Amino acid sequence: MIQKKICLLGSFSVGKTSLISRYVNSLFSEKYLTTVGVKIDKKQLTHDGNELSLIIWDIAGEDDFTNIRTAYLRGMAGYIIVIDGTRQNSYDVALSIHEMVKQHVGELPMVFALNKADLKPHWQVDGQHIRPLEQFGYPVLETSAKLDNGVADIFLALIKQWGSNHD
């Protein structure tokens, strides 16, 4: 059994908790409940014949990224930065968080998740925003926790990185 700690980061209300809830419990709720501090979930799966247990830290989104408690990030094997496609601000926060994590923890496998793909007509994040993200060299995937689109893919994209360049 291999255990990995991963963190979901991002601005508030981008859908971190919803993505985890969809991934772990196959549930989605329209109701918004803000996460206080941190919430931890577990997802067990088999990848390439290996039993894998993901300990998913759902870290409360903050407006001011500098306030993210870096202590929560210790020991993580990778992270997912969630961006709300309908909010330009969440994209800016994502970039800041990415920079901050690199400074505090170092280069780690990560994935950018462009959430709320079900509301694509209202998106403020477009191709010109996405291209710089792709230049970081990490997967950038569109997701919808509501429609269960690409949710498992973001976690799988992270797991694959451990197989290749991170142990």
Partner 1 sequence: MTVGTPDVVQLRRLLFGKDYDELLALKEQFEQSDKYSASVANIISEALTLRGSQDNSLSDALAPTIENALTQSICNNPKRFADVLYPVMGPAIRKSINQALSEALETLNQVLENSLSLRSWKWRFDAWRSGQTYAKVALLNTLVYQVEQVFLIHRESGLLLQHVASPHAISKDPAMVSGMLTAIQDFIADSFAVNQTDTLRTLSLGELTVLLEHGPHAVLAMVVRGTVPADLPNLLMETAANIHRQYAPAFKAFNGNTEAFTATENLLADCLKSQQQHVQKRPPWLALLVLLSLVGAASYLLYQHYQQLAQQEAEAKQAQQQVLQTLNERLRELQTHTSELQNSVTTLSDQQRQQLRQQTQQAQQLTTAAQTISKLTQQIEASTYPFEAGKADVGLDDPMLLQLGKTIRELIQAAHQTGKTPQILIAGNADDSGTNDINQKLAELRAENLRDALVRGGVPAFAVVAYSAKQAGQPATLQKNERSTSYRVTLF
Of the pair 106, 121, the CB lying nearest partner 1 is at 106
Q: Judged by CB under 8 A, which of 25, 27, 32, 42 binds partner 1? A: 42
- Say which amino acid occupies 114: L
**Residue 65 has which token pair?**
């990224």
Nearest of 52, 44, 51, 124 to residue 83 by alpha carbon: 124
Does 147 sit near partner 1 (CB under 8 A)? Answer: no
DSSP H or E segment with residue 46: strand 38-47
Q: Are strands 50-59 and 38-47 parallel, antiparallel or unpaired?
A: antiparallel
By beta-carbon proximity to partner 1, the closer residue of 7 and 114 is: 7
Continuous segment of H or E residues that includes residue 151: helix 151-164
Closest approach, Cβ 91 to partner 1, in A, equals: 27
Using left for φ > 0, alpha for ψ between -120 and 50, and beta otherwise, residue 67 falls in alpha
Ranges within 45-104 binding partner 1 (CB under 8 A): 53, 55, 57, 69, 71-72, 74-77
State the amino acid at position 161 in one-letter form: Q
- Select from 12-20, 34-42, 81-89, 135-143 the region that touches partner 1 (CB under 8 A): 34-42
With CB under 8 A as the contact rule, which of the stretches 36-44, 87-95, 131-139, 146-154 interacts with partner 1?
Answer: 36-44
Window 104-123: contact mask with partner 1 (x via CB under 8 A):
--------------------
Three-state DSSP class for 92?
A: helix
Q: Which residues bind partner 1 (CB under 8 A)?
A: 1-5, 37-38, 40-42, 53, 55, 57, 69, 71-72, 74-77, 167
